Amino acid sequence: MSSRKRGLSPFRISASTLRDVKLFRPIATALLVALAISGTSTARAGTSGDCQGAPEARDVGPAGAPLLWRVDGHAPAYLFGTIHVPDARVLQLSAPVDTALAEAAALYTEIPMDLTTQLALSDRVTLPHDERLQDVIGDALYRRLTNRIQATLSGDQVSEIAATTLLTLLDRLKPWAALAQLALLDYLPDLAAGRQPLDAVLYARARAAGKEVAGLETVDEQVAAFDRFTNAEQIAMLHAALDELDRARRMRTTPARELVDAYLAGNLDRLNELLMDTPSDPKLARKFHDVMLVTRNRRMAERIAAIRRADPSNVQFFAVGALHLAGSEGIPALLCHEGFRVTRVRRDE
């Protein structure tokens, strides 16, 4: 959407205020969880052939095993599956992950996490200057969305200024970016307290240790994937996200909590199960699977393979959303079929 007129970006509204409330972080840190909540993912576990350690049809892993794979070579590399939330339990890295990150000379995240890149991404999540989210998704859905957010923000853990700012910015976001805000609702108190999502914590640690930091995708590539969905498709996913939140509320849980529990258990298969609910439109489910997982997995696997071949003597740490590691079309399996030996790391290693 480079040709659109530059309008008011929500991330340009009183930057000092945003820093004070400590609420807003780059939208990229929430996208995977947001779309997971939408119930449109069709990531399938599948089988991984003869590739040792790549995700199998029932990849539950040892209890509490981290979502960490070692790519063997002259020096090893590591693939780590992240979940883009600031949950305190998630931020407590297991010993194997902590050791692998310490060994690495370089950290690669999905996209670069420097401030310039994150601001560029933030500008791409907004609608054209003459459009508003309420106009795009309709009054009824917008009212349902804002009611859900207001209900979550009504507690005393989030300041009134933070709640008001979020609702003000919401109307400038693309529908898929509004999904990201839904994903973060459970964690607004954490964000307000200044707690960073896992990816940002990894990045900060790598920078502090003087490691090389880079991304596997560009901002344009990642945003282009989301922009391939029409407004009607994004509206359908937003409806599904709200339906899922309603279901979880009746069960006295939240989608994010269910995901985090499966993540902490190291149960990639359970993560798949939680994300396998197929929407009423199978065509949309297939498109999501192909655009957000298959295409991006192949691109990232190709770039990881190229990095390994170009620099086999140094240890690299690749951190991507956990679903990118799942199944026969996940990154570990793709690297196996590129000739790399990939094994899942046990908690006691």
Which pLDDT tens digit goes with each residue over 185-196?
Answer: 778 777 767 788
| Inside any domain, residue 249 | yes
Q: What is the mean predicted confidence (pLDDT) over 148-163?
A: 70
Q: Is the pLDDT at 329 greater than 60, yes or no? A: yes
CA atoms within 13 A on the CB side of 152: 24
pLDDT-wise least confident of 97-101, 180-184, 205-209, 306-310: 180-184
> Within 10 A of 160 (CB to CB), how many other CB atoms are there?
10
Cα 288 from Cα 292, distance rounded (Å): 6
**Res. 279 pLDDT band, cuts 50 70 90:** low
| Inside any domain, residue 3 | no
Please tell me whether the overall predicted TM-score, pTM, comes out greater than 0.75 for this model: yes
| Inside any domain, residue 241 | yes
Which pLDDT score is estimated for 254?
A: 79
Q: Dig out the tokens for 210 from the structure.
A: 């003087």
**Res. 60 pLDDT band, cuts 50 70 90:** very low
| Inside any domain, residue 5 | no
Q: 20: domain range?
A: 15-344
What phi, psi does 333 have (nearest 5°)? -65, -40
**Res. 129 pLDDT band, cuts 50 70 90:** confident
Query: Given strand 212-215, what is the order of strands in its sheet?
Result: 212-215, 106-109, 316-321, 77-82, 68-71, 342-344
3-state secondary structure of 79: strand
Comparing 219 with 274, which gets the higher pLDDT? 219
DSSP β-bridge partners for residue 343? 70
| Inside any domain, residue 176 | yes
Which pLDDT score is estimated for 277?
A: 55
Class of residue 116 by CB neighbours under 10 A (exposed 0-12, middle 13-18, buried 19+): exposed
Which pLDDT score is estimated for 35?
A: 38
**High-pLDDT (> 70) share of the chain, %:** 76
Cα 289 from Cα 35, distance rounded (Å): 11
Cα 313 from Cα 76, distance rounded (Å): 8
| Inside any domain, residue 171 | yes
Identify each DSSP E strand in the chain by its residue range. Answer: 68-71, 77-82, 106-109, 212-215, 316-321, 342-344
Which pLDDT score is estimated for 11?
A: 29
Average pLDDT, the chain: 79
Q: Is the pLDDT at 294 greater than 80, yes or no? A: yes
| Inside any domain, residue 317 | yes
| Inside any domain, residue 7 | no
Q: Is the pLDDT at 184 greater than 70, yes or no? A: yes
The answer to whether 245 and 1 are in contact (CB under 8 A) is: no
Which pLDDT score is estimated for 162?
A: 67
Which pLDDT score is estimated for 20?
A: 28
Q: Is the pLDDT at 280 greater than 80, yes or no? A: no
**Res. 155 pLDDT band, cuts 50 70 90:** low
Angle between helices 219-227 and 115-124 (to 10 degrees): 20
Number of domains comprising the chain: 1
